Amino acid sequence: MSTNNTTKRPTHRINYEIKGRDGKTARSIEIGAAWPHSDGKGFSLRFDVTPPPGSYISMRGIERQEGATEGESQGA
């Protein structure tokens, strides 16, 4: 399996959303990362843990600071 990543750093975070009784997100836990394919037709995903079946999963873009390089830490 090959990975066609355009960057070495992930562009999105994958989160497991825990819903409260009112149906709104009560807590969001980061469980992985995603990189876009070079052809723009999908993502390569890496999960650090597997969420329970039927769980709500979201993928959010990572905001980068202007002027930051690939090797710099962005902080959470």
Residue 35 lies in a domain: yes
Tens of pLDDT, residue by residue over 24-60, are 888 999 999 999 999 989 999 999 999 888 889 999 9
Smallest Cα–Cα separation from 47: which of 26, 31, 59?
31
Instruction: Check: CB of residue 36 under 8 Å from CB of residue 48.
Output: no
Residue 76 lies in a domain: no
Residue 68 lies in a domain: no
Biggest CA-to-CA distance, the chain: 42
Task: Give the pLDDT of residue 20.
Answer: 87
Task: Give the pLDDT of residue 5.
Answer: 47
Residue 52 lies in a domain: yes
Residue 71 lies in a domain: no
Is 0.75 surpassed by the pTM of this model? no
**Full domain range(s) for residue 29:** 12-61
Report which of residues 4 and 64 the model is more confident about: 64
Tens of pLDDT, residue by residue over 1-23, are 455 545 578 999 999 999 888 98
Rounded-to-integer distance, Cα 57 and Cα 17, Å: 6
Residue 3 lies in a domain: no
Overall domain count for the chain:
1
Task: Give the pLDDT of residue 76.
Answer: 41
Residue 70 lies in a domain: no
Q: Is 14 exposed, middle or buried (0-12, 13-18, 19+ CB in 10 A)?
A: buried
Task: Give the pLDDT of residue 74.
Answer: 44
Residue 47 lies in a domain: yes
